[in-house]
Amino acid sequence: MTLFPDHLRQQSLASTTRDKYTSILDSTSGRDPVKWLHERLNSKTPIGTVLPFRAAVKHYLLSQGYDDEEIAQLLPKARGAPNALRDSLSAEQLTTYYLAAEEVSDPVRTILLLLPRTGLRISEICHLRMEDVVRRGNIVGFQFRGKRSEERFVPLNRAALQALNHYIAAMQPTDWLFLGNKGQPITPEAVRKVTRRIAEEYPELDGLSPHQLRHTHATTLLKRGADLRTVQALLGHRSITTTARYLHPDAEMLRDAVNRLDQE
């Protein structure tokens, strides 16, 4: 097991991903990770759970010197129950959300205002530095290394830029853009705690999470005519297949499609 952390550090994995894989391996409590994986998975296990479990054990086996062919024979296929569809926020819900976000104190307030306007992963926005706020010509945006340490530029629209400028003028950050405790960046869990509280206070926002806000951003882009390649670049997906799967039609889009029948 001692080789595992060294192996993960050598991979192009985000620190949050490395921490997640380490946590999964720790949960095996010293048992054979392959046997543990087979016991944990069944046809009812959500695919969103299957994939990180399998990936963690795969990286463990790689750290122990197994090759890809051996690993393919040892590990179960990545099958599982499909994740439940998670609708993006409707226009009405988004209005309620922004009003609720305005009542939160900074830095979480500004993070909440930016999430549905940028589509950043919660881990990405929490680890932004002041130097990541850049200007390309007359376009201001975030330029940073996201998942897999790949560089990405995400431009800010007028509302996002206004929220960011107001925050910087008031808080005057110097290193980490969104500072938490003890000079460290704010944690994703600190933001999730607030979204859970908002969901409790506003029943129409039940299930609210940073990931739902990322989904809302992507779905809004799709509704307004952005092509998949552009959305793929903005979200930082390696494969366009991931983007296409991510952008399933939400309830509003399905309703609007059916309502077109009334025009006959």
Q: Which residues are catalytic?
A: 121, 147, 211, 214, 237, 246
Rounded CA separation 86/78 (Å):
21
User: Could you give the 3-state DSSP secondary structure of residue 178?
Assistant: coil
Which residue type does 43 have? S
Closest CA to 159 of 82, 220, 79, 75: 220
User: Could you give the 3-state DSSP secondary structure of residue 133?
Assistant: strand
Rounded CA separation 6/197 (Å):
38
CB 152 within 8 A of CB 144: yes
Rounded CA separation 51/127 (Å):
25
